[in-house]
Amino acid sequence: MIKSILICGIVLSGVITGTAQNAAKVKINTPAVKLKNQKFNHVIDGGHSHSHGVIPCATDQATERYFQLHPEARAQYEAAQKAMGSWSNEDISSNKTTNPNNSVLTASPAPLDTIPVVFHILHQNGAENVGNQVIYDALAQLNIDFRKLDPDTATIEPHFQARATSSNLVFQLATIDPLGNCTNGIIRHFDANTIWDQTNFAAYAYSGTASGRWDPRKYLNIYLVKSITDGSGGTGGGIIVGYTYTPGTLGSGSAADAIVYNVGWLGVSNKDVRSLAHEIGHWLNLKHTFGNTNNPGVSCGDDNLGTIAGQPIDDTPKTLGFFSSCPPQTPNACDTSNWANVENIMDYSSCPKMFTFGQVRRMRQTLLTATSGRNNLVTAANKVATGIRNPQVCFPVADFTSDKRFVCVGTVVTFEDSTTNSMTTSFAWDFPGGNPSTSTAANPAVTYATPGVYPVTYTATNSAGSHSISKTGFITVSSNVAAVQTGFIEGFESITVPNADWSVDNSNGGPGWEQTNTVGSTGTNSMKIDNFNNTATSVETFYTPAYNLAAINGATPTVSFTFKVAHQRRTTTASEKLQVFSSTNCGQTWTQRYNKTGSSLATVAGANASSFVPSGSSQWRTETVTIAALVAQTNVMFKFVFTSGAAGATNNIYIDDINISNSPNSLNTIAESQLNLNVFPNPSNGNVHVAFELKEKQAVKLELVDMLGRTIETAVNSSLPNGSYEYSFGSAQKLSSGIYFSKLSVDGKVYTRKVIVE
C-alpha cells in the first residue's frame, strides 16, 4: 500500500516491503523476549515532492529552529562536534580511509555495553496506548539490528560484508526510576501532547534534570506519540515518523534530548522498527550517508564520520542516497572508486541492514564523551542506579488495554498487558460473556456473541507477587441491527444515563459527562460536564445508541441530526472544543461530522469567571450535524467528544434535545416534558402500557414496532382532544420476548421509547 510518510521529518511517497524475516531471539537482563516471525515493512527515511523532490528533515528543521532561537548554541554545537572528532566541515573524500581491511576499521569489536531505556507513551486512551509486548518486540528488534544478528545480514552486498559489523550495544528497559522506585521502563502518561508539536519544547514534560524527571544523561528517553506536526499545524504533507537532536545541539541534561516517535510505526502491523534504529543512530551522532542536504538522489553527499586516532575515516562512500528503492550498489556516480552503501540503516533506501565499522566507532566514541552526558549512560554506577545491572524484580501493578472498546457481535478483541512497576511473567484473564471466558495468554483474542456491556479482570504475576485489576463496562458489544429504527428525539427527561443504549467514557478520572436534572433546554434534564472543575485538556466522551438511518430516512430523504448546546467561556481566549463523530462498525472507527471551538462553540458572548449555568432559552443554540453521507446506513452510532481548555480556562457545557428524525423542527411544537409520557412496566412479561397527556386537541398515532421498524400493533391513529390517555400493547396476545419500541407521534413529532419484554 502506498501512502505519504515522513520519518525523521522527511515526506515519503511509499512504504516498501523489506526482507527481515524469522528474527532471532535476544536475551538481555530481563526475561527472554520472543519476537514474532514476521515480514517487516521498512519505513524509509526519505522525501518527495512531485516526482522525487525532498523537503528538509525534521531533525535539521528542529535543530535550525533551536539555533535561531539560541544563536550561541550553534558555536557550542560545532565546538562539541570538533572535540568529539566528528564531522569535518572540509571535504576529506580525497584522503578518506575506504579500505575495509584497514586496521583502524577491523580492530576487535568493542565490548558488549548496555544503554538504559525508558519509553514514555503519551495517550488519551486510544489505540496509541499500545501494550507492553509492542515495546518488548521493538526493543528486541533494536538489539538484533545493533548487534548484526538479523538473518537478512547474510544477504548484505559482498562488497560491504567486510565493512558491516555489530555495535555490541544492547538497549535495556530501566528497572529503577529517577526517585529510586520500581519501574518496567514503560511509562504511560495521559497527555494531550500525543498530538505532538515539534515547536513545543514544554511537551518534553517527563525528561530533564528536575526532581522526578528522567535525566537524559542517565536514560535514553523515547516519547511515543500518536502523530507529530511540524509546528505549522500540519505534517508537511505526510506522516512524520520520528526525529531527535544529535549530541551537542542542546545543553547537557536538556529535557528535549530525547527521541520523539510515531507509535504507529513501532513494529505494529508489520512495520519495521528499523526506523527507530535510524533515529537512535542520529541520537548517537550519526548523519545520513548522503550528508546534511536531506536530498537523496539529488546531489552527492557524505556523512563525514571524522577521524579515529588522527586518521580520517569514512567507510560509507559518498553517495546520492536512495529513496524508497534498493538499486544495485555499483557503480557509484559520486565516488567511482567505491560502491554505494545502499543497505546502510542511515540511508533512505528500502533495504536497510547494516552499520559500518566507521559508524560503529563513531557511536562508541560518542559514548566516551561528556557531550550531552552520553558517557554517563554506560558507566557502572549508572547501570546500577537505573537497574539494568542486577535488575530488581518488584511486584507488578496490573493494567491492560485492548485494540477495541466498542465492537459488533462476533468481532475479535485483542487484549494487551500494560502492567507497570515490573515485568509480568504470567497472565490470568477473566472475560465474562466472552469466548474464551478465561485465558493465560499475554495478549488473548476474545469474541462476544451477545450485545451488552462487559467487565474484564486481569491478574499479573511475577516472582515478586501478583496484582489484579477489574474494569467494569470496559467492552461494549453492539448488535449488528441498530437499536433505533424510527425517528428519535432524546431530551433526557425519562431515561437515566448511562444505560443499555447510552454510555459515557469517564476513564480520564475527571468529572466527565453526566446527566443533570436541574437544567435543560426543554424540561429540566440534559447532559452536562462540570467542566469548571475539570482537568486541563481533558477529553470527555458520551455515546448514543445505534440508528437505522436508512429506515428513518424512508422514501423521502429528509432525515437530519440536530441537538442543542449551551456553553460560555471562562476567559476570552479559552479554546475548548466539541466534536461529533459517527461510526458504522459499532464504534471501531470514527469519522468527524461536527466540530466547533472557542468563540464559535460558545452560546453566550463574553467570559464568565464563575461556573456557567444556562439561565434561559436564549443561552441555548440548535446545532446541525452533517449526516448526508450516512442516510443509506442501517447501523450508525454517534459520539460527542469535548476537549476542555487550558488550566484556568475551563467552563461547563450542556447538551440537550438530540433529534435524529425526518421532522427536524418538530421539537419546537411541544415540549416532551408536557406529555408526561410513561411506558410501564418496563421490562414487562408481555403486556405494556403507554400513558401520556395532551394539553390541546392534536393528531395522535401510537404504535409498537420491532427492531426492524415493522409495526406490531397500532393502539390509536386519530385526532384526540386534550386530556389524559392510557393504551396497552399485548393485551389480546402477549408479546414474545425481545426488544420493541413504543412510537408516539403527536402532530408529526415522534417520541420513541425502548420496550423490553422478558
Burial, 436: exposed, middle or buried (Cβ in 10 Å; 0-12, 13-18, 19+)?
A: middle
Of 380, 385, 465, 456, the residue nearest 422 (C-alpha): 465
Q: What is the pLDDT of residues 541-589, one digit of tens each?
A: 999 999 999 988 876 667 889 999 999 999 999 999 999 999 999 998 9
Amino acid at 361: R
Residue 348 has what DSSP assignment? Answer: B
- CA pseudo-torsion sign 371, 358, 337, 148: negative
Residue scoring higher pLDDT (592 or 35): 592
Strand order in the sheet with 271-272: 16-17, 41-42, 271-272
Look at residue 720 and tell me if it is in a domain.
Answer: yes
Whether 62 and 90 share a structural domain: yes
Whether 721 and 679 share a structural domain: yes
d(CA 306, CA 304): 5
446: domain CATH number is: 2.60.40.10
Note the pTM of the prediction, 2 decimals. Answer: 0.77
Look at residue 391 and tell me if it is in a domain.
Answer: no
Look at residue 301 and tell me if it is in a domain.
Answer: yes
The whole-number average pLDDT for the span 721-726 is 88
Per the CB < 8 A criterion, the answer to whether 379 and 215 are in contact is no
Domain final position from 478, 504, 536: 478
Query: Please, which contacts does 469-475 make with residues 24 or more away whose CB atoms are closer than 8 Å?
Result: 469/398, 469/399, 469/400, 471/400, 473/498, 473/503, 474/402, 474/405, 475/402, 475/404, 475/405, 475/406, 475/407, 475/413, 475/434, 475/448
- Residue 488 binned pLDDT confidence (cut-offs 50, 70, 90): confident
594: domain CATH number is: 2.60.120.260
Residue scoring higher pLDDT (159 or 543): 543
Whether 362 and 311 share a structural domain: yes
3-state helix, strand, coil in the chain (%, to 5): 15, 35, 50
Beta strands in 419-531 (DSSP E): 426-430, 434-435, 438-439, 445-448, 452-462, 465-478, 488-490, 503-505, 513-516, 526-529
Q: What confidence score (pLDDT) does residue 586 get? A: 93
Look at residue 143 and tell me if it is in a domain.
Answer: yes
Whether 368 and 259 share a structural domain: yes
Look at residue 390 and tell me if it is in a domain.
Answer: no
Whether 705 and 647 share a structural domain: no
Whether 511 and 605 share a structural domain: yes
Q: What confidence score (pLDDT) does residue 106 get? A: 57
**pLDDT higher than 80, residue 32:** no
Whether 413 and 511 share a structural domain: no
Per the CB < 8 A criterion, the answer to whether 537 and 647 are in contact is no
Look at residue 393 and tell me if it is in a domain.
Answer: no
Q: What confidence score (pLDDT) does residue 297 get? A: 63
Residue scoring higher pLDDT (222 or 693): 222
d(CA 365, CA 80): 13
Q: What confidence score (pLDDT) does residue 97 get? A: 46
Of 486, 483, 490, the residue nearest 677 (C-alpha): 490
What share of the chain has pLDDT > 70, as a percent? 83
**pLDDT higher than 80, residue 645:** yes
* Residue pointed to by grid coordinates 478483541: 413
Q: What confidence score (pLDDT) does residue 306 get? A: 67
What is the tally of structural domains in the chain? Answer: 4
Whether 103 and 236 share a structural domain: yes
Q: What confidence score (pLDDT) does residue 610 get? A: 95
Q: What is the pLDDT of residues 697-706, one digit of tens each?
A: 888 999 998 8
d(CA 218, CA 195): 26
374: domain CATH number is: 3.40.390.10
The whole-number average pLDDT for the span 285-295 is 76
Mean pLDDT of the chain: 82
Whether 450 and 522 share a structural domain: no
With vertex at residue 40, the alpha carbon angle to CA 36 and CA 43, rounded to the nearest 5 degrees, is 140
Whether 368 and 414 share a structural domain: no
Whether 687 and 640 share a structural domain: no
Q: What confidence score (pLDDT) does residue 559 get? A: 86
Domain final position from 478, 499, 529: 478
**pLDDT higher than 90, residue 748:** no
Look at residue 207 and tell me if it is in a domain.
Answer: yes
- CA pseudo-torsion sign 148, 152, 157, 159: positive
Q: What is the pLDDT of residues 493-518, one digit of tens each?
A: 888 898 878 989 877 667 899 999 99
Q: What confidence score (pLDDT) does residue 48 get? A: 29
Domain ranges, residue 431: 405-478
Three-state SS letters, 371-405 = HHHHHHHCCHHHHHHCCCCCCCCCCCECCEEECCC
Per the CB < 8 A criterion, the answer to whether 445 and 414 are in contact is yes
Domain final position from 444, 478, 512: 478
d(CA 744, CA 584): 27
Q: What is the pLDDT of residues 213-254, one digit of tens each?
A: 999 999 999 999 998 887 655 444 567 788 899 999 998 999
Whether 738 and 714 share a structural domain: yes
Helix axes 132-146, 274-283, angle to 10 degrees: 60
> CB atoms < 10 A from the CB of 550, how many?
18
* Residue pointed to by grid coordinates 441555548: 620
Q: What confidence score (pLDDT) does residue 311 get? A: 64
